[in-house]
Amino acid sequence: MQDQAPYYHQIGKEIEVFEHAYKNKISFLLKGPTGTGKSRFIEYMAHKLDKKLITISCHEETSSTDLVGRYIIKGTETIWSDGPLTTAIKEGAIIYLDEIAEARPDVIVAIHSLTDHRRELFIDKLGETVKAHEDFMLVASFNPGYQKGFKELKPSTRQRFIATAFAYPDAKIEADILVNETGVDKDIAKKLVNIATKIRNLTELGLAETVSTRLLVDAAKLIHSGLPKRLSVEVAIVEPLTDDLDVVEALKDLCNLMI
Ligand SMILES: Nc1ncnc2c1ncn2[C@@H]1O[C@H](COP(=O)(O)OP(=O)(O)OP(=O)(O)O)[C@@H](O)[C@H]1O
Ligand SMILES: [Mg+2]
């Protein structure tokens, strides 16, 4: 466990909500677009509650076997190896299933009995049911904003979680985050946030995802380390957003006027 708490600036009441969810062992869903602090929040909460955090980045190949465990061949023997979910259940860790909707459907099936009063996992390959340690908690994230390859979570899955929506923070908080996270000047932080606010409001650009706090943090880091401001904004904010050359040019002009 790291000694220093990860830096996290509360946006709403998510810290209190999480503490109560943890006390009551109700699974927790973090909803929201990329780069809004979901991963940072769960790292912060695990540290605050002094619990081990096990993070799994789910993708379309993630199966229940990856989470629960599998037999592996060692020399001439076949031995069982717990997956990260089984480990978390036994040790009483917090498991964070990042982008849960991406995972294969059998993952959702596997967690069902963990996310209700049973709090147990059935390991079919062993024919065993494991009861969760009382400190175990399941947390998942979900980005409802994807426009391509959109994946939903079924209501019967969603309703097993308490859910908190993450969004871009208010301008003042977002500027504070940039200053705290990167050491950049307050004045530059405010300008970066103004750029973000402006681009976020340009819905007609049809961007799949707009400027996240993560992109602003990256731009602030580059500026703080001495890269020219306009170039920093171009490479950290404009280019990651789109490959459409006309949009890139328009955004570059806009940003140059604002920084
Ligand atoms: N509330 C916040 N407090 C402190 N830092 C923040 C906060 N929100 C965002 N950040 C900054 O933004 C960066 C991106 O946040 P994070 O990685 O937690 O996003 P995420 O929501 O998990 O994104 P993804 O969906 O892409 O995984 C962090 O590394 C941190 O620098
Ligand atoms: Mg994340």
Residue 147 has pLDDT above 70, yes or no: no
Residue 152 pLDDT level (bands cut at 50, 70, 90): confident
Amino acid 133: pLDDT: 97
Ligand nearest to the CA of 166: 1
Alpha carbon distance 61, 98 (integer Å):
14
The domain limits of the chain are 14-165, 171-258
Cβ–ligand 1 contact at 232 (below 6 Å): no
Which phi and psi angles does 202 have, rounded to 5°?
-85, 65
The model's pLDDT over 39-88, given as tens digits with 9 standing for 90+, comes to 999 999 999 999 999 999 999 999 999 999 999 999 999 999 999 999 99
Q: CB–CB of 103/59 below 8 Å?
A: yes
Percentage of residues of the chain with pLDDT beyond 70? 97
What is the Å distance from ligand 2's center to 34 Cα?
7
On the question of pLDDT at 224 being above 70, the answer is yes
Element (H, E) at 98: strand 94-98
**pLDDT band at 146; cut points 50, 70, 90:** low
Q: What is the pLDDT of residues 154-188, one digit of tens each?
A: 888 889 999 999 999 999 999 999 999 999 999 99
User: Residue with the nearest Cα to atom 18 of ligand 1?
Assistant: 37
**Mean pLDDT, rounded, for 206-210:** 85
Give the mean model confidence (pLDDT) for residues 106-118: 93
What number does the ligand 1 atom closest to the CA of 9 have? Answer: 3
Q: Give the separation between CA 4 and CA 96, rounded to whole angstroms.
A: 20
Facing residues of 57 across strands?
Answer: 98
Q: For residue 128, which of 93, 80, 176, 161 has the smallest C-alpha distance?
A: 80
Residue 221 has pLDDT above 70, yes or no: yes
* pLDDT > 70? residue 150: no
Q: Are strands 162-165 and 28-31 parallel, antiparallel or unpaired?
A: parallel
Ligand nearest to the Cα of 40, by number: 1
The arithmetic mean of pLDDT across residues 224-250, rounded, is: 96
User: Does the beta carbon of 51 lie inside 6 Å of ligand 1?
Assistant: no
Q: Which two tokens stand for residue 153?
A: 């979570």
Mean pLDDT of the 133-138 span: 97
Angle among Cα 205, 207, 208 to the nearest 5 degrees reads 155
- What is the end-to-end Cα distance of the chain in Å, rounded? 40
- Taking Cα atoms as reference points, which of 58, 147, 71, 141 lies closest to residue 105? 58
Minimum CA distance residue for ligand 1 atom 6: 37
CATH number of the domain located at residue range(s) 14-165 in this protein: 3.40.50.300
Atom of ligand 1 nearest to the CA of 166: 21
Q: What is the pLDDT of residues 91-110, one digit of tens each?
A: 999 999 999 999 999 999 99
214 ligand 1 Cβ < 6 A: yes
